[in-house]
Amino acid sequence: METKGISKAVIKRLPRYYRYLGELLEENVERISSNDLSIKMKVTASQIRQDLNNFGGFGQQGYGYNVQHLYSEIGKILGLETTHPMIILGAGNLGQALANYSDFEKRGFKLVGVFDINPDLEGVPLRNVKIQMLKDLPLFLKETPVEIAILTLPKNNAKEIADILIANGIKAIWNFAHIDLDTPEDVIVENVHLSESLMTLSYNISQYQQEHKDRRSNS
């Protein structure tokens, strides 16, 4: 039952395995070998076997992996068998987009509150909750169990609200603000830095154009 010390790289790959297995399940595929899966996913079979064996021997020699079983095991590893109550801080477009994303609820991520500063939004319904004011956040956290806080506020507010979240016992933050949160080590932060993702894309475009230019002038 020791699942400690698994590398971040492996963990980042687990949701992708989960997605592919889910697709196979929908196609009623009963079993799959690491080799067949490796072709589908464009990774090495070795990596798949190595990754999965961090968590246990889910396969069987001469047979491969049972899709249903592996899917549910990875789901358990990812913590998708339990309910994760979550709140959204910031009811802007991004907050609304995440609130309305139905797949999350299917996987146990349940929206229990949405907060904003804009008084015009107070009481406005969003999915199955009503938008509340940020000033009511501390009281809400004292009364309601919340596991994940989703930060979709602008940079300056985000820092301040993060402190309030932490002071009120929140242990997991999904951070969309363009800052690195300074949190105690028992608080888990998962960053989604969209502008950094876009810049990476931009780099690759420039790089590609550069290579093309070189090739033209060199040949």
Partner DNA sequence: TAGATTGTTAATCGATTAACAATC
In degrees and rounded to multiples of 5, residue 92 shows phi and psi of -70, -170
Widest CA span of the chain, in angstroms?
Answer: 70
Calculate the CA 68 to chain-centre distance: 22
Applying CB under 8 A, does 96 fall inside the site for a copy of itself?
yes
Listed ranges 3-11, 31-39, 110-118, 137-145: which one lies at the site for a copy of itself (CB under 8 A): 3-11
* Closest distance to a copy of itself from the beta carbon of 106 (Å): 10
Task: Report the nearest approach of a copy of itself to the CB of residue 50 (Å).
Answer: 18
Q: Could you give the CA distance from residue 17 to residue 110 in angstroms, rounded to a whole number?
A: 23
Contact 150, 158 (CB under 8 A): no
Evaluate whether 51 touches 70 at the Cβ level (below 8 Å).
Answer: no
195 binds, among a copy of itself, DNA, none (CB under 5 to 8 A by kind): a copy of itself
Nearest residue to 198 (alpha-carbon basis) of 213, 178, 180 = 178
Pairing of strands 64-66, 59-60: antiparallel
Residue 174 interacting with DNA (CB under 7 A): no
Q: Strand, helix or coil at 173?
A: strand
- Given a copy of itself, DNA, none, residue 45, with its beta carbon under 5 to 8 Å by kind, binds DNA
Q: Which stretch binds a copy of itself (CB under 8 A): 11-19, 26-34, 58-66, 160-168?
A: 11-19
Per CB under 7 A, which region of 54-62, 83-91, 173-181, 191-199 contacts DNA? 54-62
22, 25, 41, 64: which one binds DNA (CB under 7 A): 64
Residue selected from 61, 195, 217, 219 as contacting a copy of itself according to rule CB under 8 A: 195
Nearer to DNA, 53 or 118 (CB): 53
Q: Is 144 among the residues that bind DNA (CB under 7 A)?
A: no
Apex CA 80: angle with CA 148 and CA 36, to 5°? 130
Q: Which two tokens stand for residue 210?
A: 């550069």
* Interatomic CA distance for residues 51 and 48, integer angstroms: 5
Smallest distance from the beta carbon of 114 to a copy of itself, in angstroms?
13
- Which of 105, 122, 160, 211 touches a copy of itself by CB under 8 A? 211
Chain residues that interact with DNA, rule: CB under 7 A: 7-10, 33-35, 43-47, 49-50, 52-53, 57-65
